[in-house]
Structure 1
Amino acid sequence: MTGEQLVVFLHALGAWPDSWEHQIRSLPDGFAGIAPPIPGVAEAGQGPYDLAAAARGLLTVLDEHGAERAHLCGLSLGAMVATHLALDHPHRVASLVLSGSQVAPNPAVMAVQRTVVRLLPRRVATGLGLTKAGWLAVLRAVADTDFRPRLHEIAVPALVLCGSRDVANLPAARQLAAAIPGAELQVIRGAGHTWNVQMPDRFSAVVGDFYRRLARA
């Protein structure tokens, strides 16, 4: 890489790398962004999905870009994969931005989500980018996740974000911010879950301010 610091943007389930186009274009000077597909998502459903394995797959992405360490900015599923990478490979992570993430998903809520997916017409599921089997495989992996015992291990600057209308994920945002040492929490008024697309200027401004503060530190 050049002297620019690498920011890796990680998409939500049902979204893809192009959902981050505005944020990549809007990064402050000194930062360069990429938005790779989360490893294994496109192939999900051919076997069990593993968030930790997805995080390991991102190490190849960092290597390909010559980045010893990278800033990770993830939304929803992407934020969970970013958390795995920070926990399992801390020397490769410079900072975290986690938006609309989860810590230990509510089993009842996850069961309802899987039921909804099972009832979806096949064409609707595939129209969202995955087969029904793929959706179910990723949702099972999310449901099995519990970061609570290890969040205190994260030792990089962390910004935890959640839209005020993203009610289902507000408790997890507060848990993340309380458990990660030194983490900052911002609840964005009027924002929903995928506010990087719904409010791209606002998301880019919040993230850009965080990276500018890191550069000055």
Structure 2
Amino acid sequence: MSDPELVLFLHGLGDSPASWDAVIENLPAGMQGIALNVPGLSLEQDLESAPFELHRAAAHVRKELDSLGVAQTHLCGLSLGAMVALQTAIDSPQRLRTLTLVAGQVKPPRWLMTLQSTLVRMLPAKVFGKDGPNKTQILAALKAAKTVDFSTSLSDVRIPTLVLCGSRDRPNLPAARRLATEIPDARLRIIPDGGHTLNQSSPALIAKELGSFIAG
């Protein structure tokens, strides 16, 4: 009996690994899912000491693969997690079998990062940190996201790639189309009536899309 296809999942900003639970539960037979903490966005003590940094987070994915004894995996990330997944594909393509980017970005709009930072600053600290990152971590991550720019790197990605985005996720739709256009042989799937957190609003559909993509 062959080993199951392993899929690693990376959560988005303000979320936790638990945000992927329903997707993992709906994965087709023959697939196993593990959701990772993203360093700088975790409540785990050993991961929260340093602020979020893209290359550090990608290195953590490789470290997790090493600890699991896995040479290659399928990697799926949402939003900020999609950027970490893309950086992992650029830094360590030999570790990935496929790449799935959900609501990802090429160069996050500065106006959007600024707006989100402003909204976060207005909220009391007690709102954060129960099941996800605290207020300081979120602000640091938004600051780091402002500097991300994959514009010159997309054509170097040679891993089979699936790009998913909700039709109502308007800030990320242009980036989704660009990702699918500039990553060689990438496949684009726009989810009708889908919003930003597709892993929570449409977990069964996302699991089905992943299953079909990986099997094909």
Q: Structures share a fold, TM > 0.5?
A: yes
| Matched residue, 2:72 | 69
| Matched residue, 1:39 | 39
| Matched residue, 1:129 | 132
Q: Shift in Å at residue 127 of structure 1?
A: 4.6
Q: Shift in Å at residue 21 of structure 1?
A: 1.7
Q: Residue type matched to 1:67 in 2? A: V
If the length of structure 1 is used for normalisation, what is the TM-score?
0.91
| Matched residue, 1:140 | 143
C-alpha distance in structure 2 between counterparts of 1:201 and 1:80, whole Å: 23
> CA 1:140 to 1:36, structure 2 compared with 1: closer, same or farther past 3 Å?
same
C-alpha distance in structure 2 between counterparts of 1:91 and 1:67, whole Å: 12
C-alpha distance in structure 1 between counterparts of 2:37 and 2:124, whole Å: 25
Q: Within 5 Å, give how 1:109-128 maps onto structure 2.
A: 109-127=112-130
| Matched residue, 1:26 | 26
- Residues 1:156 and 2:159 are matched in the alignment: yes
Partner SS for 2:185: coil
- Unaligned runs of 5+ residues in structure 2 are none
| Matched residue, 2:196 | 193
| Matched residue, 2:6 | 6
Q: Shift in Å at residue 176 of structure 1?
A: 0.5
**Residues 53-86 of structure 1 deviation map (CA, whole Å, 9 limit, x = unaligned):** 1010111111122111111011111111000000
C-alpha distance in structure 2 between counterparts of 1:196 and 1:132, whole Å: 23
Q: Within 5 Å, give how 1:149-188 maps onto structure 2.
A: 149-188=152-191
Contact 2:40 2:50 in 1 (8 A): no
| Matched residue, 1:58 | 61
> CA 1:152 to 1:119, structure 2 compared with 1: closer, same or farther past 3 Å?
same
Q: Shift in Å at residue 125 of structure 1?
A: 3.0
Q: Shift in Å at residue 47 of structure 1?
A: 4.8
Partner SS for 1:166: coil
C-alpha distance in structure 2 between counterparts of 1:170 and 1:191, whole Å: 11
Which segment is superposed worse, 202-211 or 180-189?
202-211
Contact 1:49 1:138 in 2 (8 A): yes
| Matched residue, 2:97 | 94
- Unaligned runs of 5+ residues in structure 1 are none
RMSD after superposition:
1.7
Structure 1 or 2: more helix by fraction: 1
If the length of structure 2 is used for normalisation, what is the TM-score?
0.92
Residue identity over aligned pairs, in percent, reads 44
Q: Shift in Å at residue 129 of structure 1?
A: 2.5
C-alpha distance in structure 2 between counterparts of 1:138 and 1:179, whole Å: 26
**Residues 94-141 of structure 1 deviation map (CA, whole Å, 9 limit, x = unaligned):** 111101111101112211111111111111233563222111101111
Contact 1:45 1:136 in 2 (8 A): no
Q: Shift in Å at residue 46 of structure 1?
A: 5.4
